[in-house]
Chains A and B, each alone.
Chain A
Amino acid sequence: MAQRERPLSPFMHYRWQYTNTLSILHRITGVLLSAAFFLLVYWLAAAAAGPEHYAAAAACLSSPVMQLVLAGALFSFCYHLMMGIRHLAFDLGLGFELKTARWTGWAAAAVALALTCIAWVTLHSSLGGGA
């Protein structure tokens, strides 16, 4: 039997628009946050295990590599949060007009970046003050 030409999924032939990238980033940050969840559990378990374990975990988390990972996790959280709100609005049937979908995409990404910076600066200023 001759293979009939099957319809292609939209992403196979749509031209690139930045909203595509915003959308796949939502998924990527979701996967990254799932990985970061294990760091959260590690931190909680270390706190429950006692001061020595907690100090070891804190030292591990403050290494330059882990700081980069944590900054990435923080941005992933902010991005997934803002983009998630946009997606919840989509689910309610709101914001589907091309113009609206474009500006809310930019806005969500910009707010996510701003939130990341605010949280990171707050964290590090309380680091300086608390330590």
Chain B
Amino acid sequence: MSLRSPLGRALGHGSAKSGSSHWYAQRVTAIALLLLGLWFVASLACLGGASHEQVTAWLRSPTNSALAVLLVAVAAYHASIGLQVVVEDYVAGKGARTAILIAVKFALAVAAVVGVLAVLRIAFGVAA
């Protein structure tokens, strides 16, 4: 017979340790993307078919380049948390799940860096 209380045995085990921070971050980034996404889709709808010159001029404006960097970074993070939930829900094997999660996070991190660097190169005028 153990003298430990049921609570003492349960504490520190299970998933309820840092789960809420992801849950919370998903909502905060959702609110940010609500605004950033609307800005981007509205801009894109007006830019449609614009030349390279027009697109880079648009991205060179300080407001637009700042918002574009935020969009890429926040979207990558939101996608990363969201895809993690999906993978954890549907991929049962521990090995496969870990491998897929790492691949997804790597791909999103690389894409985010490429996207941010592209915006910055245009903004600072070092793009070709």
Binding site for B on A (CB under 8 A): 27, 30-31, 33-34, 37-38, 40-41, 44-45, 47-51, 53-55, 58, 74, 77, 81, 84-85, 88, 91, 119, 122-124, 126-128, 130-131
Contacts and interface: CB of A to CB of B under 8 A. Distances in A.
Given A44-B68, A77-B41, A127-B49, A37 B108 contact: yes
11 contacts: A34-B108, A38-B111, A40-B72, A44-B118, A47-B56, A48-B117, A48-B119, A51-B53, A81-B34, A91-B27, A128-B49
A74 to B, nearest CB: 7
Given A37-B79, A126-B48, A45 B114 contact: yes
A122 B30 contact: no
Contact of A54 (B52, B82, B108): B52
Interface string B45-79: 11111101111100100000000100010011001
A31 B83 contact: yes
Nearest to A49: B128
Contact of A37 (B46, B52, B54, B111): B111
Contact of B128 (A50, A58, A84, A124): A50
Contacts of A50: 52, 127-128
Given A31-B86, A37-B75, A44-B115, A124 B41 contact: no
Chain B interface size band reads 35 or more
B37 A81 contact: yes
Main secondary structure of the interface of A (DSSP, over half): helix
Nearest to A70: B44
A48 B44 contact: no
B69 to A, nearest CB: 10
A27 B49 contact: no
Given A41-B118, A47-B52, A81-B34, 10 more contacts: A34-B108, A40-B72, A41-B115, A47-B56, A48-B121, A53-B128, A54-B52, A85-B34, A88-B27, A123-B48
